[in-house]
Structure 1
Amino acid sequence: MSTTVQFVFDIPCVWSYFGFTRLRRALARFRADGGQADVVLLPFQLDPGASVEGEPKLQVLRRAFGADAEAAVTRITAMAAEEGLLFRHENAISSNSFEAHRLIAVAARQGLGEEMTERLFRAHHTDELNIADLDTLKTLAEETGVRWSHEGAEETRAALELVRNSGVRGVPVYRFAGRPPLTGAQAEQTLLAALTSAAQEHPHHL
């Protein structure tokens, strides 16, 4: 069984992190049963106007949720714990995710796209690092075994435009071969079923 899945996401998006975590668990089960799956990681920016320097994430959340911001943070942190993830918000930085997506494209060409994506999610949501800072990104690349490169900016811009032109307005989005797209933080079992069906019905086909 062999198939391809496209995953559209943004690093600062908590639902993308949940969705990616569940997708990787579904992929692990699929691959353990002999399945083969290529993951195409497609970028989306929830806030393309965010600065490289960034600002405190709590500030951004307060603008979005107002008086409910603290309750939202508590709720999301508890949900993350149920996924086995540790979320920290006190010193988290909300910044531009373009360079992080570019690094993922670089890593993908080296066969480490999934690993780099996971590390960047963790850097933002757990380690409270600025994922727009190049020195930080170089350190994360080295940790993950990715050879640093300044290439991929045009490729990333083109991918962002392609995703926007496809009608995506929120993330995460999963596209399995020959099946309608799935959106939101889908359950692991749902993703495993979609992988299996896609592999059986449309092998080697996007």
Structure 2
Amino acid sequence: MGKKRLEDALQKINHPVEVVYRSFELDPTAKRDIKENIYEKLASKYGMSIGQAKANTDNMVQMAKSIGLDYQMETMVLTNTFDAHRLAMFAKNKGLMNEMTDRLLRAYYTESKHIGDHETLIGLAAEVGLDRDQVAKMLASDEMSDAVRADEQEAANLGINSIPFFLINKKYAVTGAQSEEVFIQTIEQVLEQDGPYEG
């Protein structure tokens, strides 16, 4: 949701902005195959009832719908996302990180695909133009693991412990799924104060 609002905001800013996606796992200890559904997981994690978890999730679904996203939380397949992050990093090296990130998010939130499953990931990668054999070889190895861990370490060093989190020019933070207007105001203010980023 935050990603979509940022993208919508960037359409209205008369200045080129480069967006770089970083890896961040909400639960690095998660297993690849999880029997719990999203409501059970949230209830357990935050000490709330299943009803409260459903109400919170329903609010998120409605917010997503208001900006054109179709979240299917009832059928979402929870999993460990480390290999999906590795795939996004692999795609980054091929100039397809934005496309791969979009595809992974849609597969997870809308299509209820198992994005911890290697065959699923290979199929999604092929859809955005990556070579199936290269992706299969990468997933079967520990390739791109260091890149994912480096991003996660950088997030820890910066004190980031939730998503979405946006860091502009390596010093201005926007946290949470803020409105399109907040992104526009923040980016325009940064451009006015700092000028274009040269990092």
For the aligned pair, the TM-score class normalised by the smaller chain equals: 0.7 to 0.9
CA deviations over 1:67-122 (Å, ceiling 9, x no partner): 31222232222121112111112221111111111111111222222221121111
Secondary structure (helix, strand or coil) at the match of 2:167 reads: strand
Secondary structure (helix, strand or coil) at the match of 1:205 reads: coil
Counterpart for residue 25 of structure 2 = 45
TM-score, reference length from structure 2: 0.84
Point out which structure has higher relative CO (alpha carbons under 8 A, 6+ apart): 1
CA deviations over 1:14-59 (Å, ceiling 9, x no partner): xxxx1111111122333xx3x2222121111111111112333233
Query: 2 CA distance for matches of 1:146 and 1:21?
Result: 23
1:187 Cα deviation from its structure 2 partner: 1.3
Letter in 2 for 1:131: I
Query: 2 CA distance for matches of 1:119 and 1:174?
Result: 20
TM-score, reference length from structure 1: 0.81
Q: Does 1:143 align with 2:136?
A: no
Query: 1 CA distance for matches of 2:71 and 2:40?
Result: 16
Query: Structure 1 stretches of 5 or more lacking a match?
Result: 1-17
Q: Does 1:23 align with 2:41?
A: no
Report the count of equivalent residues: 186
- Determine what percentage of the aligned residue pairs are the same residue: 31
Counterpart among 163, 175, 179 of residue 183 in structure 1: 175
Say if 1:29 and 1:114 are closer, same or farther in 2 by CA, change over 3 A.
farther
- Identify, as 1 or 2, the structure richer in strand: 1
CA deviations over 1:138-187 (Å, ceiling 9, x no partner): 11111122345313111111211121122111121111126531111111
Query: 2 CA distance for matches of 1:146 and 1:188?
Result: 32
Query: Structure 2 stretches of 5 or more lacking a match?
Result: none
Counterpart for residue 7 of structure 1 = none
Matched-pair contact (CA < 8 Å) for 1:58–1:92 = no
Larger Cα-atom Rg: 2
